[in-house]
Chains A and B, each alone.
Chain A
Amino acid sequence: MVTAVTSMGRSGLYDWLMQRISAVVLLAYFVFVGLVLLGGVDYASWKSLYSQTWMRIFSLMALLSLGVHAWVGIWGVLTDYLTERLMGKTGNVLRFVFQMACGLTMFTYLVWGIQILWGY
Chain B
Amino acid sequence: MLQVSLYRYNPETDQEPWMQDVEVDTGGKDLMVLDVLELVKGKDPSMAFRRSCREGVCGSDGLNMNGKNGLACITPLSETVKNNKLVVRPLPGLPVVRDLVVDMTMFYTQYEKVQPYLQNNNPAPAIERLQTPEEREKLDGLYECILCACCSTSCPSFWWNPDRFIGPAGLLQSYRFLADSRDTATEERLSKLDDPFSVFRCHGIQNCVNVCPKGLNPTRAIGHIRNMLLSRAV
Enumerate chain A interface residues (CB-CB to B < 8 A): 1-4, 7, 10-13, 15-17, 76, 79-81, 83, 85-86
* B23 at interface, CB cutoff 8 A: no
Q: Can you report 17 A-B residue pairs in the complex whose CB atoms are below 8 A from each other?
A: A1-B191, A2-B164, A2-B197, A3-B195, A4-B197, A7-B196, A10-B195, A12-B194, A12-B198, A12-B199, A12-B200, A13-B226, A15-B200, A16-B226, A76-B201, A83-B161, A85-B161
* B117 at interface, CB cutoff 8 A: no
Collect the chain A residues with CB atoms within 8 Å of residue B191's CB.
1
**Residues B195 and A12 in contact, CB atoms below 8 Å apart:** yes
- B interface, over-half SS: loop
Taking a contact as CB atoms closer than 8 A, the residue among B164, B194, B203, B226 that contacts A11 in the complex is B194
**Residues B198 and A1 in contact, CB atoms below 8 Å apart:** yes
Collect the chain A residues with CB atoms within 8 Å of residue B192's CB.
1
- A interface, over-half SS: helix
Of chain B, the residue at the smallest CB distance from A15 is B196
Distance between Cα atoms of A64 and B216 in the complex (Å): 39
Taking a contact as CB atoms closer than 8 A, the residue among B157, B193, B195, B226 that contacts A4 in the complex is B195
Q: Which B residues between 160 and 196 are near A, CB-CB below 8 angstroms?
A: 160-161, 163-164, 191-196
Distance between Cα atoms of A85 and B157 in the complex (Å): 13
Collect the chain A residues with CB atoms within 8 Å of residue B193's CB.
12
* B229 at interface, CB cutoff 8 A: yes
- B153 CB to closest chain A CB (Å) equals 16
**Residues B198 and A2 in contact, CB atoms below 8 Å apart:** yes
Of chain B, the residue at the smallest CB distance from A75 is B196
Taking a contact as CB atoms closer than 8 A, the residue among A1, A10, A79 that contacts B161 in the complex is A79
- A104 CB to closest chain B CB (Å) equals 22
Taking a contact as CB atoms closer than 8 A, the residue among A12, A81, A85 that contacts B197 in the complex is A12
Collect the chain A residues with CB atoms within 8 Å of residue B226's CB.
13, 16
Of chain B, the residue at the smallest CB distance from A13 is B229
Of chain B, the residue at the smallest CB distance from A1 is B195
Collect the chain A residues with CB atoms within 8 Å of residue B161's CB.
79-80, 83, 85
Of chain B, the residue at the smallest CB distance from A80 is B160
**Residues B157 and A1 in contact, CB atoms below 8 Å apart:** no
